[in-house]
Amino acid sequence: MIKKPRVICFIPARSGSTRVKNKNIRIIKGRPLIYWTVFRAIQSRMFNKIIFSSDSDQYFKILVKFLKKDKLNFNNLVFDKRNTKHSKTKSKIFDYLKFDLINKYELKKNDLLVQMLPTCPLRSEKTVKIGINSAIENNKNLFSVCEYDFHIAFGLSIKKKNWSPAFNNSPLITGSTQSQSQKKYYHPTGVINCLHVKFLNKNKKSIYQNAFPMIVPRSESLDIDTEDDLELLRKVI
């Protein structure tokens, strides 16, 4: 009989944001942004442990304040205090998972580590459950993707008053500008990434290697990166 893996949620939230100041604690519908991802993790009841990882003690205090206010059961929530070395923009979360988190929390080879970014707060409970179950059933790592809002085939770069197509066979050059005839392209999201600890060997450089994509709805894939994104989120959440 195959032993069912422990499922560990990892939610990273650094305090420094280069584009949107204090992004992770900006108030959305009366709650800080970080709240919504932790809320979904708790609500799903899929996790043995939820690790909230941040370089800021204040972020965790703010989070707990609202969880208590809403009388949520967060007994399986732990605070992972990260040092500033691991919280810099250029520091890879994947490296932290491989070299620090696994040892710090004594994760076993059979465990499934589920990363959910707080900047993608619109994920549904259904998506969380489907992602976890798919990763377990297929015994492979999984990463979420979303179809581009606009066909990437029409992409171009601009330098001064000149432009260049993103692809050699760009429809902007060939004249085939009907979007329906273009191949679909997808991009990774921070909605959900499922990583089997046994596959996190030190030779891998990213979560996408030897993993399969899970398509998530565009309505759940909003990633907060600008003030405009925040305004859009306030309208839809």
**How many structural domains are present in the chain?**
2
Residues 156 and 141 in one domain: no
Instruction: Look at residues 166, 183, 200 and tell me which one is the last residue of a structural domain.
Output: 183
List of residues 6+ apart from 52 with CB closer than 8 A: 11, 13, 34, 38, 60, 63, 77, 78, 79, 80
Residues 164 and 90 in one domain: no
Specify the pLDDT at position 180: 66
Band (pLDDT 50/70/90 cuts) for residue 167 is confident
- Give pTM, 2 decimals: 0.89
Band (pLDDT 50/70/90 cuts) for residue 203 is low
Q: pLDDT tens for residues 38-63?
A: 999 999 999 999 999 999 999 999 99
Q: Rounded CA gap, 123 and 36, in Å?
A: 9
| Residue 60 near residue 79 (C-beta atoms within 8 A) | yes
Band (pLDDT 50/70/90 cuts) for residue 81 is very high
Specify the pLDDT at position 90: 46
CATH, residue 15: 3.90.550.10
Q: pLDDT tens for residues 83-104?
A: 755 545 445 788 899 889 999 9
202-207 mean pLDDT: 72
CA dist 25 → 19, 63, 129 (Å): 14, 9, 26
* Least-confidence region, from 172-181, 194-203, 211-220: 172-181
Residues 170 and 209 in one domain: no
Quote the domain boundaries for residue 172.
149-183
Residues 127 and 175 in one domain: no
Domain assignment of residue 2, yes or no? no
* Least-confidence region, from 6-10, 103-107, 149-153, 157-161: 149-153
Residues 120 and 192 in one domain: yes
Residues 89 and 164 in one domain: no
Band (pLDDT 50/70/90 cuts) for residue 69 is very high
186-193 mean pLDDT: 96
Domain assignment of residue 209, yes or no? yes
Residues 142 and 173 in one domain: no
56-81 mean pLDDT: 97
Long-range contacts, stretch 21-29, CB < 8 angstroms, 24+ apart: 23/119, 23/224, 23/230, 24/54, 24/59, 24/118, 24/119, 25/59, 25/62, 26/230, 28/121, 28/230, 28/233, 28/234, 28/237, 29/234, 29/237
